[in-house]
Amino acid sequence: MSVKVVVITGASSGIGAALAEHLARTTDYQLVLVARRKDALDAVAARCDGKAAVVVADVEKRNEVRTVSDYVLRQLNRIDVWVNNAGRGISRPPSQLTDDDVDAMMRINVKSALYGMQEVLPHFKSRGEGHFINISSMLARIPHAVIRSAYSASKFYLNALTAMMRDEVRQTHPDIVFSLVSPSVVVTEFGSNSVHGGPDSRLLQDGQEAREVAAVIAGVIQSRAPDVYTRKGSRDRVAAHYASIGVDP
């Protein structure tokens, strides 16, 4: 099997960094790591045994996403997998959300993924195949964390957008796959880095290590499964939640 070119956004820390390090342990992948912080990206790349290139970009801006795609195609001639992992949380209940709060969540959690899919899709269509992986959240399945209201809503939006892109594209290009991955609480700096601060995710009970989530995503690259949870029992939790409020999901 030829080496796959995998682009990972939000690769400077957390799940993105863990995924890069996981994939670098084999000879199956050539990685391109994307984020805004060059020093952090360089540190991750240094742990990837020479298998990762670094591209500094803000994926909230369409032109910068296009620049990343163009760079990868010039340097490596193709993209096999594009992982839309960049994202950020927010700590504010819905009654207090401002326009800026909602706009921030849409830019980083929805538009960044939309830009990735739209900019790379023509290349995938020209090849007749390709794989997008969008990192969502259990909070897009069970909206129970009130302070994460706008984050949860943005991930619901991402889920719907992913499903609709899948339905549109598979009519003409069935080998272009859209996968959705839904982690629960992950032991990263996600909480403390949220807009307006918030609880440190590393201190919450029952958190999942980023390396465990990375292993699941690596499995999705192989299986091309459309909808995957990162923890066993998550699907049953979702069904139980909706049953408890009298809704059949």
Closest CA to 54 of 64, 65, 66, 46: 46
Homologous superfamily assigned to 4-244: NAD(P)-binding Rossmann-like Domain (3.40.50.720)
pLDDT digits over 130-162, tens only? 999 999 999 999 998 999 999 999 999 999 999
Domain ranges, ordered by start, for the chain: 4-244
Angle between helices 99-106 and 149-170 (to 10 degrees): 40
Q: What is the mean pLDDT of each run of 10 residues along the chain (249 residues)?
A: 92 97 96 98 97 98 98 98 97 98 98 98 98 97 94 98 98 98 90 81 79 98 98 91 81
**According to the model, what pLDDT value does residue 203 have?**
65
Query: Residue 241: exposed, middle, or buried by beta-carbon count in 10 A (0-12, 13-18, 19+)?
Result: middle
The structure tokens listed for 133 are 């992986």
Query: CA-CA distance, 202 to 200, in Å (whole number)?
Result: 5
Q: Is 133 helix (H, G, I), strand (E, B) or coil?
A: strand
The 10s digit of each residue's pLDDT in 112-136 is 999 999 999 999 999 999 999 999 9
Q: Give this prediction's pTM.
A: 0.95
Instruction: Give the pLDDT of residue 245.
Output: 87
115 is a catalytic site residue: no
Specify the pLDDT at position 89. Answer: 95
- Contact yes or no for 188/15 (Cβ under 8 A): yes
Q: Which of 76, 161, 84, 69 is nearest to 120 (CA)?
A: 69
Q: Point out the catalytic residue in the list 29, 115, 151, 229.
A: 151
